[in-house]
Chain A
Amino acid sequence: MTPLLELVDVRKKFGAVEALRGVSFALAPGEVLALLGDNGAGKSTLMKTITGIHRASAGRILFAGADLASHDPGQIRALGVEMIYQDLALARQQDVASNIFLGREPTRRFLGLPLHVIDRARIEREAEAMIRRLGARVPSVRYRVGDLSGGQQQSVAIARALTFAPKLVIMDEPTAALAVREVEHVLELVRELKRQGIAVILISHRLTDVFAVCDRAIVLRQGRTVADERVAETSMNTIVAHIVGAG
């Protein structure tokens, strides 16, 4: 099976800091991959390089056959790559509906003129449907995101990632700030995405979560891949040893 995503010797420098020193791996369609590593290992940097926020200093990133080097973040989203960022990347003074459709607002002609206005009614309708399908506890899509709780904001970020039929969903520590019940909800979501054949890359420090939902785990240390194992064939102790560098 041809991989959905393929990274070949990806490197990233920030000035003198080498955040990524040659990362290679491939991801199959529908596969659920855990990306592990200590703080500062380069996990977020690697994912932001895939989504086009950062440009790789060297190496190649292929998604569904397309070389992402020449793509900007909007084009990469259009190919079907969505990311739920560690800081959620929400506009707090905009409402829920606007945040879900951020960067992809449907427009309509204004009074039949060649003027394109944002189709507010459609955005609210579809945002509400998405929130309902996710079973998220957001009181109204007209609420400002800044007025919502952390868990609700998380739901908005998730809804944004899932509204446009993604092929790959990247989650950067989505459960770090959540209550136990909400964590279970996110894990169930990952399982559901897998059932629908959507690939997931999950960054998490909670190994129990990783072992509960992931097929495979990759460990980064100081910008390098130090382990790439099938979850069913390894143990938490082995993974921990790789993360702290005792392996």
Chain B
Amino acid sequence: MSDPHEISRSGHIESRDLSIGWRHGKEHFQAVDRVSFSIAAGQFVCLLGPSGCGKSTLLGALAGHIRAASGSLFLDGAAILAPSPERGLVFQHHTLFPWKKVIDNVAFGLKMKGVARAERRARARELLDLVGLSGFEDKYPVQLSGGMQQRVEIARVLINQPRVLLMDEPFGALDAQTRWIMQQLLLQVWASIRTTIVFVTHDIDEALFLADRVLVMSHCPGRIRDDIPVPAARPRGEAWLTSDGFIRLKRHCLDLIHDERPCANPPDGADLALQPAVSRLAEALI
């Protein structure tokens, strides 16, 4: 089962002095400020931070949709300049094509590579099976629940055998129950497809449950504040969520976030998001 999904061991990400700015009218706003990090191939990394700290911007740059102002990003030594199927992107709200059936959504990447219809459908079926959606091939996306849509989205990205999976709060819109199921599913899938994952979230529990390593970001300007390894053994279960090690790491993350001050001079659009987000984060965790 694992061989057809076998991914090359590569997937090493390197960021060097990366800065990304947005223009708000005449003002320039530095969303990501001289960020450097390195992610080993096959590692599961969570980006944690308050709303507006530049997580999505950073992920967009990794995907190749957003151009950096300065600095550079590399995947396995090659500069990231444009979107590519080797870097699969999953958003909070699904981006399935409403006019394609589930199976054809999943097979889309192979169609772009010119794989014959029968073969790509067979592969798509395997991936739907992997995410537990056999039997939904001929449905349209609107006919699925939010959790199912995210599974299809993940299957659609995985069919390209990406070296990196970039996920931007993929379970943020799901209810607690579904979210928990999806987190377990993701780890299960990841166990059979050892691709590098960069996973954005502002849920500390989620980050500590999933990741090998948590990068905590701060805002104004967007920087990496801390780099926390999560040494827990895998497979992880509910036991990890209540262990002392977990509580200690969570305490540490909470301290980092409570320490976070609102921007002295927030940009338009960001001012709304910042203050409540910090307290929302704190609230959710107590």
Asked if A and B bind, the verdict is no
